[in-house]
Amino acid sequence: MGWMLLAVLLLVGALAAIKFAQIRTMIANLPKPQPQVVSAMAAPMLEWQPQLAAVGSLVAVRGVDVAGEVAGLVRDVRFKSGQDVRAGDVLVQLVADADVAQQQVLQAAVDLAAKVLARDREQLAAQAVSQAQIDADEADLRAKRASLAQQTALVARKTIRAPFAGRLGITSVNPGQYLNPGDKIVTLQTLDPIHVGFTLPQKEFGRLALGQRVVLAGDAHPGERFVGRISAIAPRVEP
């Protein structure tokens, strides 16, 4: 009985040794893991540009409410709402018939005074008139020329022109309408170039400088970017 138990133990031990040897052989024959490939490259030096975000509003570089300097009846409106105009283009013509007629009368008076002065100077050479008469003639001519210049300026103000190039707004002025001095005719604004006004917290004030680059985006032009420069920094502090 003892011999049988010993034989069984020896058999189990032999089988275990054989199995262990097989496992070792199998592990030894497994493919070895390949070394992991690592790529390397030089890191480029990039400049990081800090950014500030703000919501701004478009502001025309120049904008005025065009108005007349003198009262008068509108004879002709020579523009359409939303039209682009150049500096000096006629916008509104007021009735100026009586003013032009008065201008012509004064022009005739100037011409006559100039002829009288020229004639009296000839008479002075012949000692037919005194120097005092010449002085009076010269004063009369200067006065008449001043009156003519004043009337000419009045006639010119009856023609209302665009003070600068830009785009007109919407007007309600029509021929036959009476305008008083200062009555608004139409708004005129220069849209190219255009300013953008925006505000930032006071703590960011030190990061701003004239000439800094500004990138703009708007809902009216989705996907587009517009580049500008800071041209002015207002010293006002918002409460």
> How high is the pLDDT of residue 54?
75
Please name the residues in contact with 117: beta carbons below 8 A apart, sequence gap of 6 or more: 134, 137, 138, 140, 141
Peptide bond into 193 cis (omega under 30): yes
> How high is the pLDDT of residue 174?
94
Residues of the chain predicted below pLDDT 50: 2-3, 5-10, 12
- What are the tens digits of pLDDT across the range 104-147? 999 999 999 999 999 988 888 888 888 999 899 999 999 999 99
Whether 131 and 113 have beta carbons less than 8 Å apart is answered as no
Would you say how long the chain is, in residues?
Answer: 239
Q: Residue 219, class by beta-carbon neighbours within 10 Å (0-12 exposed, 13-18 middle, 19+ buried)?
A: exposed
Mention the CATH class of domain 96-157: mainly alpha
Provide the whole-model pTM. Answer: 0.64
> How high is the pLDDT of residue 211?
81
> How high is the pLDDT of residue 215?
82
